[in-house]
A and B are shown apart, each in its own frame.
Chain A
Amino acid sequence: MSEVIIKLQYYLQYPFVIYALIVGTLIALCSSLLGVTLVLKRFSFIGDGLSHVAFGAMAIATLMDQIDKTIIIMPVTIITAVLLLRTGQNTKIKGDAMVAMLSVGALAVGYMIMNVFSTSANVSGDVCTTLFGSTSILTLSSSEVWVCIFFSIVVLILFAVYYNKIFAVTFDENFAKATGVKTDRYNLLIAVIIAMIIVIGMNLVGSLLISALIIFPALSAMRIFNNFKSVVIFSGIISVFCAVFGMLVSILFSTPVGSTIVIADIIVFAACYIIGMIKGE
């Protein structure tokens, strides 16, 4: 045990490890906030589709070494989110098919671009990093760290300011609409926030696993708590705990960051499920 602590102290001397922990905590906190909304509004499919689109955008961004990747990925993902929501509202089945088309399409195109145009010697390594996050969180440049912090704070503020509206629109959209709330506007806001979360979350766990980061903490908290506020707060706590725990484990035992965090989330979910069952009886 003492060996582990000494090793940990050794790593914590490095600023890039501290950066990684700060960014990881912020990302985890943001990604958990909209989990309940995503699950209950049947928006999970949009989250999944968006993360694949973000992968495609990332592939294109990798070609342009000089500029910050987020400058390309963020607008592409936000615009896709808005478009998906528009089509999804009109005809449900078409919307679903559209998401499927877009997400596998973006995956294929993204991989093609990375494979053909990449200057790196280790293409499959790059792809793996983008999909599963691997150790990229430790190699963030200081500009990437600031971009992450900036968008995390934007997400947190938007969520706090629109908390009551997001609740009302998630719980009963028709009621809100009938009393004169412009629900389309808030659906749009939710989609934009999801897009932002996915883009910053990709740095931590990669594009394939970001949905897990969004959904697991919310589902875990929903097992135990009966009111929206507690669910949101507790899923934030679960998410941050699992992210920090996962990052430390991955540093100590050189396991992949993304997978370690998600596995921690799965274990917490199982625990919450059991607690929920015992409580329910």
Chain B
Amino acid sequence: MSYITCENLVLGYENQMVVENVNFKVNQGDYLCIMGENGAGKSTLMKTLLHLTKTLSGNLVYGDGLMDYEIGYLPQQTIVQRDFPASVWEIVLSGNISRLGFRPFYSKAEKKKAEEMLKKMGIWNLRNSGYRYLSGGQQQRVLLARALCATQKLILMDEPVSGLDPKVTAEFYQLIRNLNQDGVTIIMVSHDIHGALEDATHVLHIGKHEQQFYGTREEYMNSKAYKSLEIIDEIDADKEDAKL
């Protein structure tokens, strides 16, 4: 049994179909990279996996000891958060929120966990700093630490390196690689074809309306879907060069 099994999934909002025929599996220890053009339904798929939107039809099954709400989520930042007066410690501690239940305050064990995750992310020294004054890379580490407080089985990341400079991006990929080697299953939605694919074990490529590819990284590198994406990427790169 896999952590997540999707069969003939149809995704969308209020009967408005966005993408259909989605089939894939996520097993423990996998590093799945979800690729696709803008508007292809990557974010809809993600929201569906997180129970934020419902599936239109098809099967989405969680198994192998993964509970329904045991997905750690590393979201793209919202404008609200960039202005939010919260310390790093408060944010990471709030990763334990689902365990609170009817208890009003966090327990010693939960605080210990927050401390452990902060140290793991290398930001323990920043614990009293204001989140809104951190650099982009540091903010991502804070949100990752929070996600790890929620669960260490599976983390879902939404464009985690967008807006980060190359050096910070490389460091962040290293961080994710280490987590994956420690046994944390990763699902990453990304635009960054080359960087993201380097460590991925599996790839899911969603096109407009339909799934283009699902398989291992090696298979993907030889597939049509990858080549089509690479061409687009080269055109984009040329445009960038022309601008310079």
**A residues touching B (Cβ–Cβ < 8 Å)?**
36, 40-42, 160-165, 167-168, 170-172, 174-181, 221-222, 225-229, 231
Minimum distance in angstroms from B62 CB to a CB of chain A: 12
Task: Of the listed stretches B18-26, B94-102, B188-196, name the one at the interface; the rest are far from the partner chain.
Answer: B94-102
- Number of B positions contacting A (CB below 8 A): 38
**B residues touching A (Cβ–Cβ < 8 Å)?**
50-52, 68-69, 71-73, 75, 78, 80-81, 83-87, 89-91, 94-95, 97-98, 100, 104-106, 128-133, 146-147, 150-151
A41 to B150, CA, bound (A): 23
Residues of A within 8 A of B52 (CB): 174, 177-178
- Known A-B contacts A178-B50, A178-B51; the reply to A228 vs B86 at CB < 8 A is yes
Q: Which partner residue on chain A sits nearest B49 by CB separation?
A: A178
Residues of B within 8 A of A176 (CB): 97-98
Minimum distance in angstroms from B59 CB to a CB of chain A: 20
Residues of B within 8 A of A226 (CB): 85-87, 129-133
The reply to whether B69 and A229 form a contact with Cβ atoms under 8 Å apart is: no
Given pairs A36-B85, A168-B94, 7 additional interface contacts (CB within 8 A): A41-B80, A164-B105, A171-B91, A180-B98, A181-B98, A228-B85, A229-B90
**Which of B84, B128, B129, B147 has most chain A Cβ within 10 Å?**
B84
The reply to whether B146 and A180 form a contact with Cβ atoms under 8 Å apart is: no
A165 to B97, CA, bound (A): 7
A138 to B129, CA, bound (A): 44
Residues of A within 8 A of B146 (CB): 175
**Which of A40, A164, A170 has most chain B Cβ within 10 Å?**
A164
The reply to whether B94 and A171 form a contact with Cβ atoms under 8 Å apart is: yes
26 contacts between A and B (CB under 8 A): A40-B83, A40-B84, A41-B80, A42-B80, A164-B104, A164-B106, A165-B97, A167-B94, A170-B84, A171-B94, A172-B81, A174-B50, A174-B52, A175-B73, A175-B75, A177-B50, A179-B72, A179-B97, A179-B150, A222-B85, A225-B85, A226-B85, A226-B131, A226-B133, A227-B85, A229-B90
A231 to B132, CA, bound (A): 14
Kindly count the residue-residue contacts between A and B in the assembled complex, taking CB atoms under 8 Å apart.
Answer: 91
- Known A-B contacts A174-B52, A174-B73, A178-B69; the reply to A168 vs B85 at CB < 8 A is no
Residues of A within 8 A of B98 (CB): 176, 179-181
Residues of B within 8 A of A172 (CB): 75, 78, 81, 94
The 6 lowest CB-CB distance pairs between A and B, nearest first, are A226-B130, A180-B69, A227-B87, A178-B50, A179-B98, A168-B97
A227 to B128, CA, bound (A): 8
A256 to B129, CA, bound (A): 41
A162 to B84, CA, bound (A): 19
Residues of A within 8 A of B130 (CB): 226-227
Residues of B within 8 A of A181 (CB): 97-98
